[in-house]
Amino acid sequence: MFDRTGTPHRRDFVRSAIAGTALFPAIVSELLAADNSSQASDPLAPKPSHFAPRAKNVIFLFMSGGVSHVDSFDHKPKLFADHGKTVALDHPETRNRPGYEKLFLKRPQWEFSKRGKSGIEVSTLFPHMAGVIDDLAVIKSMYADHSNHYNATLGMHTGSFNQARPSIGAWLSYGLGTMNQNLPSFMVIAPRTPYAGSQVWASDFLPGSHQGTLVTPGPEPMRNIRALTSKTDQRKELDALAELNRSHLARSGHDADLTARIRSFETAYGMQTAAPDVFDISRESDETLKLYGLPRGSTQGFAWQCLMARRMVERGVRFVELIDSGSSNNWDAHGDMISQHAPLAKNVDQPIAGLITDLKRRGLLDETLVVWTSEFGRTPFNNSADAKGREHHPWAFATWLAGAKVKAGTTFGTTDEYGVRVAENGVHVHDLHATILHLMGLDHTRLTYRHAGRDYRLTDVAGRVVKEILA
């Protein structure tokens, strides 16, 4: 390590500095990626919105696999009444599929009732969410462009159903920056990789610093989160390393890769300062843990994910996504609705309702947009009326928003009498994205990035803000 004069070699000093910062894989993949932007210093610096925002943060609750709309938030009495009747449909999931020449209507397997002062009908699948229904704006007329999990998941996150594009969280980070320089602007909490893989939180052609940072429930949510040296020594090493890097940058001119690397060291240092506090829930009250349904000491399950989301937005994380894919499966209930939907609903229902309640009582709900969705719904029919499961259904599904001063306790859009197709006020995925950006103070037609010779945006060349659900 030392030369003959006792002076440490430069390479050993740099190696020591890197070890001291303990750059963990999530930060390496996020912030050491090439930053091809023209921003010279800090790509995560806060930026002004296009107009006054209604919200500062987004919590995106993604139910991976396809939640059945007709078994949850889209009550269809006619589907109950006409159970067993045949229907003629050219559906993408049943077209030219052996054994699906005839399709039969299949009644919901949970009962519905009017809930809250609003009287919105919710099934018994989600009793706790039904308890906060007056805080939700339910969209019953969502639709997508693809019936395959990979493509539909990609579309819901990036606006592109066929090609890799930046995730909505990356777009918001790019458009607004971060409110806490010690934490990433975009964080994803998921027990396992969902359909479409890490593209769900990728920055793609946007600067690499806007990519989502993955947090995995468990005793070690992020590896190497604690520094290997004292903060004093680590700060000295970083300052010295930054001086060397700046000197090199001055000689070489603007170097996007080096700029991103300089920023990555600072972010990693900041996270080792701030992240342990985020994950330390020892001071949360027993009442709060009970609200989420989280046993003290547990670091698993969707209850832990929801509590982490609240703690992250409290600390200024711009976009937090929670991906629910169950303990061993997801919402893809081809085989048996009851055996798949029921335990998954039990896992997420109380934590989500607890999150809404907790944000509201802390005064955070007005400035936080909460979005609940899936990549598509499930068919109101199958090849037998007695079939236990349902197939993929992009023609119609349900989504809800809460917070950010949306019209709480309302519904928007309708499907036909069986929940097969949108009947009125359809909301495409592009429209949902345009609305989310609008609530964050961004015009979806103006949030663009020049790549490969043309301007790109999250909503491609489509999308409208669903102003009907805005208060």
| Residue 270 predicted with pLDDT over 90 | no
464 phi and psi angles, rounded to 5 deg:
-135, 145
> Percent of the chain beyond pLDDT 70?
84
pLDDT band at 5 (very low <50, low <70, confident <90, very high): very low
Answer yes or no: pTM beyond 0.85: yes
| Residue 108 predicted with pLDDT over 50 | yes
| Residue 265 predicted with pLDDT over 50 | yes
User: How confident is the prediction for the chain on average, in pLDDT?
Assistant: 88
Q: Is 34 helix (H, G, I), strand (E, B) or coil?
A: coil
Q: 27-41, 75-89, 133-147, 346-360: which has the minimum mean pLDDT?
A: 27-41
Q: Which residues contact 157 (CB under 8 A, 6 or more apart)?
A: 62, 167, 168, 196, 199, 200, 201
372 phi and psi angles, rounded to 5 deg:
-115, 125
| Residue 423 predicted with pLDDT over 90 | yes
What's the average model confidence in pLDDT over 98-102?
95
Q: 70-79, 146-155, 329-338: which has the minimum mean pLDDT?
A: 329-338
What's the average model confidence in pLDDT over 333-348?
95
Contact 112, 126 (CB under 8 A): no
DSSP string, 41-53: S-TTS----SS--
| Residue 33 predicted with pLDDT over 50 | no
Q: Can you tell me the distance from the alpha carbon of 159 to that of 165, in angstroms, rounded to the nearest whole number?
A: 8
The reported pLDDT for the residue numbered 244 is 78
The reported pLDDT for the residue numbered 267 is 66
Its CATH architecture, for the domain 50-223+286-469, is 3-Layer(aba) Sandwich (3.40)
**Highest mean pLDDT of the ranges 203-217, 246-260, 266-280, 309-323:** 309-323
Condensed to tens digits (0 to 9), the pLDDT of residues 202-218 reads: 999 998 889 999 999 99
| Residue 141 predicted with pLDDT over 70 | yes
| Residue 135 predicted with pLDDT over 50 | yes
Angle between helix 256-279 and 10-21 (nearest 10)? 40
How is residue 470 annotated by DSSP? B
The reported pLDDT for the residue numbered 426 is 98
The reported pLDDT for the residue numbered 256 is 60
Q: Can you tell me the distance from the alpha carbon of 197 to that of 153, in angstroms, rounded to the nearest whole number?
A: 9
Looking at per-residue pLDDT, the higher value among 266 and 459 belongs to 459
What's the average model confidence in pLDDT over 416-421?
98
Q: Which residues contact 420 (CB under 8 A, 6 or more apart)?
A: 87, 89, 379, 380, 381, 395, 396
